[in-house]
Structure 1
Amino acid sequence: METNRNLISRKIFLQQMGLGALSAGLFFPGGLSAGILMDTKTKSPQKVVVIGAGLAGLAAAWELRKAGHEVTVLEARDRPGGRVSTVREPFDHGLYAEEGAAAFSASYTYAVKLIEEFGLERIPWALPEDPVTYHLNGEKIKVGPGDKVTWPFDLTKEEQELGPMGIVQKYIIDTLPSEIKNSDNWSQAPIVEMDQASMVEYLREQGASEGAVELLKNTMWFAAVPGETSGLSMAVSDFGLFMADAPFILKGGNDLLPREMAKRMKEDIKYGVQVTKISENREGILVNTAQGGEFRGDEVIVTVPLKVLKKIDFEPQLNQAKVMAIENMPVLNITRTYLQVDKPFWTKDGVSGFAYTDLPVGQVNVYTNPADANKGAIIESFVAGPSAAVLGKLPQEETVREIKREMEKVHPGTEEHFEKAYVKAWSEDPFSLGGPSWPAPGNVTAYLRDLQAPHGKVFFAGEHTSILRSTMEGALRSGVRAAKEVSERSEKSERN
């Protein structure tokens, strides 16, 4: 199997691993997959209803409009973006934080195309200059660039010297096949076989110790649930795409991209509309809503998250293969707790504020005022996996109380400087019911094609229908794919 030692430069790799927040998408040297965009006007314009104004729905509507179709977008929330969401309220001091997708990558060809078209400003997602805190196995360690560290895990001598980033380089980056850079070929050898192994199994096959696996689980965003992570998804989405180039964020908030798209299509988007039923007959498609409204179209594109999709009635019913795919494709639960403090008090200890822990706070991220880094700050507890769902079900006051107590172990003084809190449990959000899709071993080959497949005149998009799971680019490209399928079907019907 051909290796991929030069896929990611050390500099870019360090940039990415230094912050490590979960989110955010594959590298095509010449741009998007050939033929994915619709550059010509349709000869058979259709009336298309798009359900959901997340990135997938917005991309579908964007491309359909360009092709000359009539589009109506129905969104249950009062805003666009779905799980791309920047929180500005209730924070003070000019602070804001990302509660959804954390970062883009320069490898996100479709996202970058739109960002440049809209003139949005990109900010590098940089490595913290001050030391990062690790709280693992009861030990608290400050780690700065180049520091020698004794990691509190049963590692080989080489693994101890390598540390978390070096372990990833040795056991993952240096061993992945170069084919991961082309997501269109995910169902072909040699990478399709990777779907049958979990991330843990893949690491073991490369010679990683059990201690190394445990260290990565607590320090790497893509390893939150390593035993339940498809090796294929990890390789293509996390390494072939997101870490194929430098990560970045948008100045002012990542939600500026969906908001700009929605602003340019504002006459076609209806907010506060929750779809309950989709029916197809000879006349076309009828969409019923919880508010008692009806919308008719020639085709429908459904882009809502997996667990929300289960709550929509379809007539005729979805086939068994699609039902099984929707039921069985896992999602990753995420709970994010934000503690606003009066100032970045941790700087007195000579640390950046960022931390990786095996405590209930999970990973710790920091947000400061872009105009004045000393005017207030936000410490975020980022928890992913089974414990996130448990945390998310607690009353907010109890969640905040627990997170503040545990955060004191990472940053003493949290309680003293605390001002207010905000909690986002994605598993409890009625319009999401969980975080991004997160295929377990075997799930990609078992379910992805069925998740993508149309149901009569109903088409499907969303990051869960893309091999680029959990990425903004995957969501965008899935919307483009669905729009192309609708347009091609209308052209075919016209010829017939």
Structure 2
Amino acid sequence: MKARKNHISRKLFLQQLSIGIGALGTGIFFPGSLSAAEFLSGKTNNPRKVLVIGAGLAGLGAAWELKKAGHDVTVLEARNRSGGRVSTLRKPFSEGLYAEEGAAAYGATYTVAKNLIEEFGLETMPYPMPEKTVYHLNGKRITYSPGEQVVWPYELNEKEQGMDPMALVKMYIIDTLPQEVGEPDLWKKEPVVNLDHQSLEEYLIKQGASEGAIKLIRNTQWFAAVPGETSALSTGVSDFGLFMMGGVPFILKGGNDKLPQIMADKMKDNIEYGVEVAQVKDNGRGVVVRDKNGKEYTADEAIVAVPLKVTQKIAFEPQLSAAKRSALENMPVMHLTRTFLKVDNPYWLEEGLSGAAHTDLAVGQVNPYFHSQDPQNNPAVLEGYVAGPKAESLARLPEEEVIKEIKTQMEKVYPGIEDHFQKGHVKAWSTDPYALGGPSWPAPGDVTAYLEDLQSSHGRIHFAGEHTSVLRSTMEGALRSGMRAAQKIAVT
């Protein structure tokens, strides 16, 4: 068993994490290192012509590595922008105000992302950590600052009394997970692989958590949105591992999509936008990709780096194996609906509140966004972040009905919103035709049942995306998956 690393600012980090930094379902942090063998080094002696389908982080990561190594790369992207589910929202708001409708933050120990951010000279900022948060749970509204004593509206056992949600997470998860979860490559070995046979909820019960404590964790922690349908292995490796020792997360100045933007700008001559791929064929000599309009592209190899459910919509020839089709069809995704309410000013600051909240209401988790300069005298945004079945239900409604419902629920959390409301915006990832849902979210048994098949190549066709990584739902997992696919081509 390996010793834990990075014993830095544990108390501070746990306090900050307890405020709820994980907004993408996006489960967005992992500190494990990337093997040097997964990076391409030097120029290739066997340049290949490669088609990369998808300009999200997985596709861009693969294309960047291959291009640097001297391969002829063309990226085909269905959208008119790069980034995929790393998406910064700007247009509905005033100049200088933006919100993240996709991935919320970068982990301090995202080794691949940090290497790229440093390579491109992007400016980072610490993730903003609100000090006074609102909780609306079981019909009760509570304002809370870390360290305060609160009587939570759930029936807790004796040892849980007086503990805040993150203290419960520490006691039942952080302090009990095997240390090997910090090494992603060990997921197939005991004791980590054993975690896949139980849900997060079952794991919590096994550690002694009461029903009330599980409800409190579920309604305050992004990774526990559906604890009974979440693989304890995925939680342990993707959401924890060494993450709790890894340091404070950060964001990119100007928006988190600055990373995929600059990668795409550096490869602008290699990317074609507005190309919706319908078929990928391995003809025995190379690959032929056909878009929905019948246009064909040819290459030696292809990397399919689109989201899980979008991959299902592509026709492959020859047909994918039964095991791979089963993996694509049965691996679950987390549904996310994010509603952004622009207000004329951050009126909650007058009460010393941060704008952040955790609730069991239809509004979900509340995230605030301010102007970076002079926030009190400029418009702001309150986001209702809803994950799981509730998000799927909201996604079926017209946008105006979603905004109305979220405003009604937001009034219970931050009263007065109707007096300040200006406009709203809804991002339902389930109805986005180029996403068809949020990130992959393995249920118990799904990692061991499907991950290796999701990763496997199909002749000259390779696959990338966070769903092909044990680091599910993370930007780091997406980037590493692209590196893995690039490596497969480099060694052919």
SS at match of 1:347: helix
The answer to whether the 8 A contact 2:342-2:424 is kept is yes
Write the distance in 2 (CA, Å) between the matches of 1:281 and 1:174. Answer: 52
- In the TM superposition, residue 402 of structure 1 has moved relative to its aligned partner by 0.6
Q: Any idea what the Cα deviations from partners look like across 1:241-261, whole Å, max 9, x if unmatched? A: 544332111110000000000
Which of 30, 55, 58 pairs up with 2:57? 55
User: What's 2:282 paired with?
Assistant: 280
Write the distance in 1 (CA, Å) between the matches of 2:22 and 2:237. Answer: 18
User: What's 1:493 paired with?
Assistant: none
Write the distance in 2 (CA, Å) between the matches of 1:97 and 1:128. Answer: 16
- In the TM superposition, residue 177 of structure 1 has moved relative to its aligned partner by 1.2
Q: Any idea what the Cα deviations from partners look like across 1:372-420, whole Å, max 9, x if unmatched? A: 2111100000000011011011000000011111110011110110000
SS at match of 1:484: helix
- Overall identity of the aligned pairs, in %: 58
Q: Any idea what the Cα deviations from partners look like across 1:340-369, whole Å, max 9, x if unmatched? A: 000001122221110000000000000000
User: What's 1:458 paired with?
Assistant: 461
User: What's 1:202 paired with?
Assistant: 203
User: What's 2:316 paired with?
Assistant: 314
SS at match of 1:104: coil
The answer to whether the 8 A contact 1:108-1:242 is kept is no
Q: Which amino acid in the other structure matches residue 481 of structure 1? A: R
Write the distance in 2 (CA, Å) between the matches of 1:437 and 1:80. Answer: 20
- With structure 1 as the length reference, what TM-score do the two structures score? 0.96
Alignment of 1:31-180 (within 5 A): 31-129=33-131, 131-180=132-181
Residues 174 and 210 (structure 1), Cα distance of their counterparts in 2 relative to 1, 3 Å cut: same
- In the TM superposition, residue 34 of structure 1 has moved relative to its aligned partner by 3.4
The answer to whether the 8 A contact 1:108-1:241 is kept is no
Q: Which amino acid in the other structure matches residue 233 of structure 1? A: S
Write the distance in 2 (CA, Å) between the matches of 1:5 and 1:158. Answer: 29
User: What's 2:473 paired with?
Assistant: 470
- In the TM superposition, residue 279 of structure 1 has moved relative to its aligned partner by 1.0
User: What's 2:445 paired with?
Assistant: 442
Q: Which amino acid in the other structure matches residue 394 of structure 1? A: L
User: What's 1:414 paired with?
Assistant: 417
User: What's 1:248 paired with?
Assistant: 250
- In the TM superposition, residue 146 of structure 1 has moved relative to its aligned partner by 2.0
Q: Which amino acid in the other structure matches residue 145 of structure 2? A: G
SS at match of 1:83: coil
User: What's 1:218 paired with?
Assistant: 219
User: What's 1:266 paired with?
Assistant: 268
Bigger mean CA deviation after superposition, 16-25 or 160-169: 16-25
Bigger mean CA deviation after superposition, 333-342 or 91-100: 91-100
Please say if 1:26 is aligned against 2:30.
yes
SS at match of 1:161: coil
Write the distance in 2 (CA, Å) between the matches of 1:33 and 1:246. Answer: 23
Q: How many residues are treated as equivalent by the alignment?
A: 486
Residues 5 and 358 (structure 1), Cα distance of their counterparts in 2 relative to 1, 3 Å cut: farther
- In the TM superposition, residue 5 of structure 1 has moved relative to its aligned partner by 10
Write the distance in 2 (CA, Å) between the matches of 1:302 and 1:89. Answer: 30
Bigger mean CA deviation after superposition, 355-364 or 140-149: 140-149
The answer to whether the 8 A contact 2:182-2:237 is kept is yes
Write the distance in 1 (CA, Å) between the matches of 2:368 and 2:187. Answer: 35
Give the RMSD, CA atoms, in angstroms.
Answer: 1.4
Bigger mean CA deviation after superposition, 12-21 or 429-438: 12-21
Q: Which amino acid in the other structure matches residue 397 of structure 2? A: L
Write the distance in 2 (CA, Å) between the matches of 1:316 and 1:262. Answer: 31
The answer to whether the 8 A contact 1:4-1:176 is kept is no
Residues 113 and 70 (structure 1), Cα distance of their counterparts in 2 relative to 1, 3 Å cut: same
Alignment of 1:258-407 (within 5 A): 258-374=260-376, 375-407=378-410
The answer to whether the 8 A contact 1:4-1:177 is kept is no
- In the TM superposition, residue 282 of structure 1 has moved relative to its aligned partner by 2.7
SS at match of 1:35: helix
The answer to whether the 8 A contact 1:56-1:461 is kept is yes
Point out where structure 1 has 5 or more consecutive residues left out of the alignment: 490-496
Residues 89 and 141 (structure 1), Cα distance of their counterparts in 2 relative to 1, 3 Å cut: same
Q: Which amino acid in the other structure matches residue 379 of structure 1? A: L
The answer to whether the 8 A contact 1:16-1:247 is kept is no
Bigger mean CA deviation after superposition, 114-123 or 346-355: 346-355
- In the TM superposition, residue 2 of structure 1 has moved relative to its aligned partner by 8.3
Write the distance in 1 (CA, Å) between the matches of 2:486 and 2:247. Answer: 27
- In the TM superposition, residue 19 of structure 1 has moved relative to its aligned partner by 3.1
- In the TM superposition, residue 3 of structure 1 has moved relative to its aligned partner by 9.1
SS at match of 1:189: coil
The answer to whether the 8 A contact 1:364-1:379 is kept is yes
User: What's 2:184 paired with?
Assistant: 183
The answer to whether the 8 A contact 2:337-2:429 is kept is yes
- In the TM superposition, residue 312 of structure 1 has moved relative to its aligned partner by 0.4
Q: Any idea what the Cα deviations from partners look like across 1:229-251, whole Å, max 9, x if unmatched? A: 10010011101254433211111
SS at match of 1:19: coil
SS at match of 1:382: strand
Q: Which amino acid in the other structure matches residue 333 of structure 1? A: H
The answer to whether the 8 A contact 2:30-2:107 is kept is no
Would you identify which runs of 4 or more consecutive aligned residues in structure 1 move more than 4 Å?
A: 1-8
The answer to whether the 8 A contact 1:15-1:125 is kept is no
Write the distance in 2 (CA, Å) between the matches of 1:53 and 1:5. Answer: 34
The answer to whether the 8 A contact 2:31-2:107 is kept is no
Q: Any idea what the Cα deviations from partners look like across 1:97-129, whole Å, max 9, x if unmatched? A: 000000101110000000011111111113213
Write the distance in 2 (CA, Å) between the matches of 1:341 and 1:27. Answer: 36
The answer to whether the 8 A contact 1:133-1:354 is kept is yes
SS at match of 1:420: strand
Residues 109 and 81 (structure 1), Cα distance of their counterparts in 2 relative to 1, 3 Å cut: same
User: What's 1:484 paired with?
Assistant: 487
Point out where structure 2 has 5 or more consecutive residues left out of the alignment: none
The answer to whether the 8 A contact 2:52-2:303 is kept is yes
User: What's 1:492 paired with?
Assistant: none
